[in-house]
Amino acid sequence: LTGAPAFAARPGAPLFHRLTAVGAGPLRFELDPLPRGVRLDARTGQLSGAVRAPGRHLLRARVSGPGGA
């Protein structure tokens, strides 16, 4: 992953954030666990939706491609 290790989102406000990575493609992005109301496009790394609950959400990110994870 090449982007910021943390970012903020306001509960109920639209969320648009893209995960970025370097490697031979196509890449596949995974985040676990996603907060309720947030979606991840595994092909593009685009997060969208809206966080429903305030608080700190720790997510585990994984990127994989033809060469492995």
- For 50-61, what is each residue's pLDDT tens digit? 999 999 999 999
Task: For residue 40, give the nearest of 23, 5, 15 by alpha carbon.
Answer: 15
What pLDDT, on the 0 to 100 scale, is given for residue 3?
A: 85
- pTM confidence score: 0.86
Helix extents (H) in 1-69: none
The length of the chain in residues reads: 69
Residue type at position 38: V
Averaged confidence pLDDT in the chain: 92
